[in-house]
Amino acid sequence: MTKYDFITKNELTKKIHFLKSHDLYPFFKEVSSTQSDVAFFGNKKVLMFGSNNYLGLNNHPKIKKAAQDAIAKYGTSCTGSRFMNGTLDLHKELENELADFLKQEAVIVFPTGFQVNSGVIPALAGKNDRIFIDELNHASIIDGCQLSYAKRIKYRHNNMEDLAVKLEQDPRDGSKNLIVSDGIFSMDGDIVKLDKMIEVGKKHDAITMVDCAHAIGVIGKNGSGTASHFGVSKEVDLIGGTFSKSLASVGGFVAGSSEMIEYLSHASRSFMFSASLPPASTASALAALRILKTDSSFNEKLWANTHYAIQQMKAFGLDIGNTETPIIPIYIRNSEKTFKVAKMLFENGVYVNPVVAPAVKDIDSLLRFSLTSAHNKEQILFAITEIVKAIECFSKQLNSRNVYIN
């Protein structure tokens, strides 16, 4: 017995060993280029349908110039937390423009999008409170709930009737009720019924929070997210999000009333005790935001590609669930087959992300196919035909027995 036996005996370690021993391990591939419609892994060129670069802005010359200028002025880091010496005038500029963009009174910026949920949720709910979450919410929301010590209650995916029932079954009794949901669900590609969620929440005096990580740049006026999409920007209590997707940077934010944001800036530990967002990242996000506000062509191209891809996938008979956004799940519903299909696609020049348990249930294993405005119809059709061929190939080879360790 050694102190590391818990690693070798762990089920996760067994899964990793299985994938590597069967040459199916798809993770941590090294990218050697910019990721746009194509990317290079070493010398291998592939069509990139695995990134969250929805507007294709991560190589935009104005954004790169903004990052370079910020480094020239501020250096490479802020050398402290926002709470102390780490607040730049550039941070405040980004926060003010974001607040205006989202039609909220105030915003604070976090080092990552994950830290938004892991910091905001525990600041809002404590041991005697209740947090109601969609069963398909992102891991950062789940972790935020666990850090809060509040009672976590899941409701059926995007089912506001079930949410209402759960709220009725677990009355407030003087404690806080908090409802948190993804704006666009990161694996299934559907949109939360935010207007209905807020309506249900009002009946129970609940605080409502929507995580627009995948919605910013994609839906709403000028890509301003889920609340804008439903016309409820003044009714939702908090809007969270990230810069790492459409805004071509890294970092996160939360927006809401001035009173709420001032409280969170003094109560959210991941905001108070983390080094602040670096100058280059802050400037990149600000430059991308300004492009969103003034140029709709990227969003329009993204949606043209999305409608075309969904139409073609349905015509080919692919199982894509209820997606309605550039995130398109292609359900394989078998973990081993999902890894095999993803590997064949990579070998044939198409990169997609395999998603298996525990990220989803094994029967919901899928390929996460994500579009950007940089793609064209020829690339999309080529990728879809390769996906169909790979699925058909392994459908013939693989019987119903799934040898992947679950």
> Which residues belong to the active site?
186, 214, 245
Distance, in Å, from the CA atom of 200 to the CA atom of 197, rounded to the nearest integer, reads: 5
CA atoms lying within 13 Å on the CB side of residue 77: 6
CA distances from 325 to 79, 213, 226, 275, 308 (A): 39, 13, 12, 34, 11
